[in-house]
Structure formats: C-alpha cells, structure tokens
Chain A
Amino acid sequence: MEQDESRQRGMHRRDFLRGAALGLAGLALPLDRADASFWEAFFQKHFREMNDEEIKQVISRLEKEYAQKFKKQIEIGADKPIPGVLYGYGLDLSRCIGCRRCVYGCVAENNQSIDPQIHWITVLRFRKGEKWVDLENSEKYYSPEKVPEEEYFYMPVQCQQCENPPCVRACPTQATWKEPDGIVVIDYNWCIGCRYCMAACPYGARRFNWGAPNRPEEKINPKTHYLGNRPRYRGVVEKCTFCIQRTRKDPGRYPACVEACPVGARKFGNLLDPNSEIRYAIEHKRVFRLKEDLNTSPKFYYFFAYGR
C-alpha cells in the first residue's frame, strides 16, 4: 500500500473535489499531509491540459517517487504523437502458431505485474473448420507439448485501438482517451478504478490491478512513457498502447510483440503511409476486424495471408 502514494493522492484529490461539490471541503482535506509534492499531485491538471513545463514537473515528481520506491532510475518520456502518423496493426492468422512469445515479450517491455499476473495479450485457440465461437468461449489455457497443433488455429487478442472506442466514452473521469495518432491511452494518475471501461470494451482487452502490481526491480524496464509502460498502481486499469514508448519516436522501434514473434505473423506501421507493411497487408489480403458490427473501427486488422 505504501507504494501507492501518488495514486492515493489522486484519490484524495477526487474525494476532495467531490466533497467540495457537496460543500464539505474541509472534511475531506488531509491536513496532516502538507508537503509540497503532495499538493503538486493533489492539483495535477488533466494531462491534455498541461503545458510542456507542467508535464515536465509532473514527470520529475514521478521519477523521484519511482526512484525511491524501486531504488532505480526510471525514465518517463512524454513523446507527443508524430504528425502524419496513424498507427495500424496486422496479424496474419495463417502464420500464428500460438507460441505466446508475444505475450511474454509484452510483459517484459511493458512492466506488467508478474504476481498478481497481468497479460495484455491473450492468445485464443480455435478448432479448425468449426464455426468460430465468441471470444469469451474460446480456449486460452491450452498447453500442448508443441505448437502449432494440426487441428487448431490461434488468435492473439490485445487492445484493438478503436477509432471509436467505447471504453473512452464509458470513463467518468476522462482518464482514458484517444490520441491523434490513434493510440488509446490511460493516465494512471487520473484513473479511479471504477472499471466502467472494462465493461465497455467488447474485446476484453483491459486489465485491472486488483492488488499492488509486483515486479522484481531488476526486471523493470526503465525506458517508459507517461501514457504507457511506467509503473502502475493498485486500483488502476491498464492495456496495450502499441508500445507507445518505442513507437512514438522517429525513428522508433517496432512494438515488442512484433519483435518477439518467431513466425513474423505480426505487422505494424503507419496507415497513412502507402509503403508501410500494414498498408501492403490491407491492400493485398482480405483483412477483417473483430466485431465489426459494433462500429468500433479497430485499427487492428486480422488476415489470412495464405489459404487454409
């Protein structure tokens, strides 16, 4: 619990504001907490309303908190969207062998909690030839000796980065929103953990920190982004951000899951660039997106490059 400082401050602030609305301001004020850092956290503005200077201050405050907590320097970036870039992702289901290298590549890059376990990517297994069942009824605990298995195919699912994200609409505190480059992000210092976004997500792509996230210090990736893989708190929601800390650079590395995939089933790039591999996939293969009837317009495209 003591590691949840910043987040508790966030909670206090919002309790306070709620209290203020009811005319009870004095009651909610934690008068014993008078240090400067507390009040800075208390009055932190919404991320999108902060100017560069304010963002820098917030980041240096958080970096200090992380350094104390993890005994290690953690660098928090705040790279802005690259103009002219709309990120898109492709997944070739005719190649995927269900090996879960992507799942663990993601965990390591994005500082997911190991115990309690959080995975941003879930790999689903379906029997070939059968009508596809809904995502909820597929098998995700499969564990054969070797993959692929003759009679199955596999479908990894993670945040689909919807153009029209229902999770964003569901959030009562605007702690989650869609950036101009299409990435749906979460501000862990604004999230109040109500989990409405999780209920709203048709893809089951959001994860909740029921307990304090737990990851050995030596395994923490110190290269982070404020809206991405920086350490999270108990009681906040998290999910895939297309590796915002890597991909929002020019030049920027491919997402960790793309790198981890041994069969090259994962494709990533700029939807606005006609020469990108994702555009090649969309123009040359019959792509589809999950639950298209919901009009969420994911920027995550599935396809079968080769007939099955």
Chain B
Amino acid sequence: MRTLGISGIGLFCFFSLLLVSSPAVPIEHEVHKKFLVPPPPFSEGIFPCSQCHQGMPVNRTPRKLEMMHQDIVLNHMPGGWCFDCHNPDNRDTLRLANGKIVTFEESYNLCGQCHGTILREWKAGLHGKRTGMWNGEKQYLLCVHCHWPHDPVFKAITPMPPPVRPSDIK
C-alpha cells in the first residue's frame, strides 16, 4: 500500500516543533491494570452461564451443538474449540492458556494472548474505541463489542443516507 497519490502528502513539520522537548515514548504498563468497560454484550438471559452449567457434565468433544447454542459455529483460530477460551470448571469465567482465570469484563486479556499488538493499541486508545471524557474518565469498548468472538470478522452494515444532491432540491 502506501502509494498515497493525494496532492501534498508529506511529512508533518508542524508537529515536530511540539516534540522537541518531549521525552521518549512512555513504557507500556503490561501489569494487570483494569480498564473501565461497559457491560459485556451478552444475549438476554444467557448469563450467568452457571444457571444451566452448574452440575451439568462437561463435554470436551468438538462437535456441532444441537441442544443449545446452535448459533455458535466457530470461524476463528482454525483447530480451536470452546475450552481454548471458556473455563470448563466455571462457565461464568474465561480461562487463559496459562490457566489464569479472567472474568468477562476482562475478555481483552483473553484476546490479547494471540493479538498482542492489537491489545497494546487498544490500551492506548488506538484500536477500538473509548468513550466518556477525552481529558478524564474513559470507558473502553471490549473487543467483543465489535467482534463476535466465535466469528470475529467485523460485519458489514447499512450506511446512512447520502447527502441530497443540489439537483434534488426543489
């Protein structure tokens, strides 16, 4: 990419003025900082999962689900299965590859295992979206607010109407 043919793309000289006195980029704080997030986008009534799964036998066999969750067909990380992410011992939580348990409010740490660069940019506010105050408290949309974890490609949506053409004006 990056054969930007638009007229006048060059280096930004204005900004370099501002940078003269600023120190190097701050180091990323990878330690477990929690981020304010809106509630996870569960379907109505599905959470807590334990309302059904408590006491229900765990079935680790990859298969097509027929009694429940029929809408979940994995199209993500080829060869993966439910328990790469969900915790078989407590369905109300998620489980990382290293055995660490995380809540659904922290599902970004689950995604970050394999999408590390994106997680870093998400924390910086670049990937995904923050809402709230630009100079105060911010909420981070979870990865799963935009990516259905079982089939994460961002889905196409209907655009809002185009502007009226001058010729459409009576």
Q: A122–B159 contact, CB under 8 A?
A: no
Interface size on B, residues (CB 8 A): 46
Instruction: A116 to B137: give the CA distance in the assembly, Å.
Output: 38
Which one of B130, B135, B141 contacts A251 once the chains associate, using CB atoms below 8 Å? B135
B158: chain A residues at CB < 8 Å are: 99, 145-147
Q: A254–B162 contact, CB under 8 A?
A: no
B7: chain A residues at CB < 8 Å are: 134, 291, 293
Nearest CB of chain A from residue B23's CB, rounded to whole Å: 8
Instruction: A232 to B156: give the CA distance in the assembly, Å.
Output: 36
**Contacts A277-B130, A284-B126 known; A297 to B14 CB distance under 8 Å?**
yes
Interface of B is mostly: loop
A293: chain B residues at CB < 8 Å are: 7-8, 10
**Contacts A263-B146, A274-B22 known; A254 to B133 CB distance under 8 Å?**
yes
Tell me the chain A residues, 143-166 only, with Cβ under 8 Å from chain B: 143-148, 163
Tell me the chain B residues, 80-135 only, with Cβ under 8 Å from chain A: 121, 124-135
B146: chain A residues at CB < 8 Å are: 262-264
Q: A140–B162 contact, CB under 8 A?
A: yes
Nearest CB of chain A from residue B4's CB, rounded to whole Å: 7
Q: A292–B9 contact, CB under 8 A?
A: yes
Nearest CB of chain A from residue B144's CB, rounded to whole Å: 14
A251: chain B residues at CB < 8 Å are: 133-137
Instruction: Tell whether A29 is near chain B: CB-to-CB under 8 Å.
Output: no
A287: chain B residues at CB < 8 Å are: 12
Instruction: Tell whether B26 is near chain A: CB-to-CB under 8 Å.
Output: yes
Q: B159–A100 contact, CB under 8 A?
A: yes
Instruction: A68 to B26: give the CA distance in the assembly, Å.
Output: 53
Q: B18–A147 contact, CB under 8 A?
A: no
Chain B residues in contact with chain A, CB under 8 A? 1-2, 4-10, 12, 14-15, 18, 22-23, 25-26, 121, 124-137, 141, 146, 154, 156-165, 169
Which one of A92, A101, A271 contacts B15 once the chains associate, using CB atoms below 8 Å? A271
**Contacts A116-B169, A292-B8 known; A275 to B26 CB distance under 8 Å?**
yes
Q: B4–A263 contact, CB under 8 A?
A: no
In the complex, identify which listed stretch (A30-38, A223-231, A299-307) lies at the interface while the others stay far away: A299-307
Instruction: Tell whether A247 is near chain B: CB-to-CB under 8 Å.
Output: yes
Chain A residues in contact with chain B, CB under 8 A? 82, 85-86, 92, 97-101, 103-104, 116-117, 119, 122, 131-132, 134, 140-148, 163, 247, 250-254, 258-259, 261-264, 267-272, 274-277, 280-294, 297, 301, 304-305, 307-308
Interface of A is mostly: loop
Residue of B nearest to A135 (CB): B6
Instruction: A286 to B15: give the CA distance in the assembly, Å.
Output: 13
Instruction: A280 to B26: give the CA distance in the assembly, Å.
Output: 10
Nearest CB of chain A from residue B24's CB, rounded to whole Å: 10
A119: chain B residues at CB < 8 Å are: 163
Q: A99–B1 contact, CB under 8 A?
A: no
**Contacts A268-B134, A280-B125, A284-B126 known; A141 to B165 CB distance under 8 Å?**
yes
Q: A282–B12 contact, CB under 8 A?
A: yes
What 7 A-B pairs are tightest by C-beta distance, nearest first? A251-B136, A264-B129, A277-B125, A293-B8, A251-B133, A131-B5, A100-B160
